[in-house]
Chain A
């Protein structure tokens, strides 16, 4: 990798993230993969950027979703651009599928971790090739695996329990979207870095579709919300 990682110098050590994206959630459905993320870029505790695209198509067969440091994600996109370009230049009728891209990313992330200079991201890679659906995850320390549904960050704690309960084989597109929206709504309620501008993307054998950003309605009409301290003045 043509980067400045100076493994000899002591000044290249584990850094800290500046502009970060929060959870990505994804699941397998009947025709492929559905992935969701919000468009927020936080700067510490400030919700600084509200239109960051965190879901990107890779080649013809894959979708990449990223959380963590946005500058590192942008660099990863450049690496993948080069990878796909060289693959296309062979002009041999073959194209890199999601399994191959996931493997490439895993090697990049793990090798950077070994040099104490990680790319500070958790990545979700999903796709379909020759009818085979694939959904995997890799993070900044190189942990990688594939599953029927994955999430990053707080999504692991809040979204995956919902998915473990309600996911099943052969979800329709509508069922998949509703399930993702349920997860994103919980994250909106309970993740302080969440921003109410959601992007959902799908990838099928035919290719990737990026749906336009939208906002979710939230529910506040519980009587316990309106009168939280009834019977216990001074409590919260």
Chain B
């Protein structure tokens, strides 16, 4: 990494991560590509990591840094939960993430989105970008793919969505970012957290809409050539 940074160049990180609140909880989403340079080291990674039963974190930036931060936070939260005698709040989890990010800002290169549900404040999303700022938001986007989503969310985000509307928004957004960001790809993973619990979902490319200049995937060219197959119901 260069010693002299251009202050006006935002630091790009591989990945697209999203966290969105809806009336009743939160939906977290991410792509699944981990790259080392131009090589895709893992095409099905899980970037949405559990911190407690009710709080998850989306990781972006350095895979190692984000993993070690979330490991420490999981460890601290475990002890905190035992001592407290009840589930940790999302705010506490987010602040622990902030503490590590802020106090080690010279060494870490990771942007995180903490999301979860607790009985006091319901669903909450906290962004913890580079530097260790903590910002509670109704929705948060992060990673290099998020550059392509600022305009999309400015237009498509609404207050008070249902669970399904929120998950559709997240799916659509990650899919759009994957279409344009080389550092994002693979499948779309979502995690929904509310009072009832946690639901993990998995959406491979064929279950996502096609965007501009994308074609329907085929098994072979041979299937397209010659007479079209009769439609089967």
A44-52, A137-145, A183-191 - the one binding chain B: A44-52
A 16-50 to B, binary, CB cutoff 8 A, 1 in contact else 0: 11110000000000000000000001011110110
Q: Which of A11, A44, A71 contacts B102 (CB 8 A)?
A: A71
Q: With A44-B7, A44-B10 in contact, do A11 and B133 touch (Cβ < 8 Å)? A: no
Q: Which of A17, A52, A71 contacts B7 (CB 8 A)?
A: A17
Main secondary structure of the interface of A (DSSP, over half): loop
Assembly CA distance A46 to B147 (angstroms): 9
Which residues in B have their C-beta under 8 angstroms from that of A4? 103-104
Contact call B11/A44, Cβ cutoff below 8 A? yes
- How many chain A residues sit at the interface, stated as a range, is 20 to 34
Main secondary structure of the interface of B (DSSP, over half): loop
Assembly CA distance A46 to B104 (angstroms): 24
Which residues in B have their C-beta under 8 angstroms from that of A69? 131, 133
Which residues in A have their C-beta under 8 angstroms from that of B133? 18-19, 41, 69-71, 74
Contact call A74/B134, Cβ cutoff below 8 A? yes
Contact call A19/B129, Cβ cutoff below 8 A? yes
Contact call A71/B106, Cβ cutoff below 8 A? no
Assembly CA distance A49 to B147 (angstroms): 13
| A82 contacts B by Cβ under 8 Å | no
Q: Which of B9, B105, B150 contacts A71 (CB 8 A)?
A: B105
B 125-161 to A, binary, CB cutoff 8 A, 1 in contact else 0: 0010111111101000000000100100000000000
**Most B CB within 10 A of own CB, among A11, A17, A49:** A49
Assembly CA distance A44 to B144 (angstroms): 14
Q: Which of B9, B107, B131, B135 contacts A17 (CB 8 A)?
A: B131
| A227 contacts B by Cβ under 8 Å | no
CB distance from B114 to the nearest CB of A (A): 15
Assembly CA distance A148 to B134 (angstroms): 33
| B8 contacts A by Cβ under 8 Å | yes
Q: With A41-B133, A69-B131, A74-B133 in contact, do A16 and B7 touch (Cβ < 8 Å)? A: yes
Closest to A45 in B: B8
Which residues in A have their C-beta under 8 angstroms from that of B106? 11-13, 15
Q: Using CB atoms and an 8 Å cutoff, list the residues of chain B in contact with chain A.
A: 5, 7-11, 98, 102-107, 127, 129-135, 137, 147, 150
Q: List 10 A-B contacts (CB under 8 A).
A: A15-B105, A17-B7, A18-B133, A44-B8, A45-B8, A46-B147, A48-B129, A49-B127, A71-B98, A74-B134
Sorted from nearest, which 8 A-B pairs have the closest CB atoms?
Answer: A44-B10, A18-B131, A71-B133, A71-B132, A70-B133, A18-B130, A71-B131, A19-B133
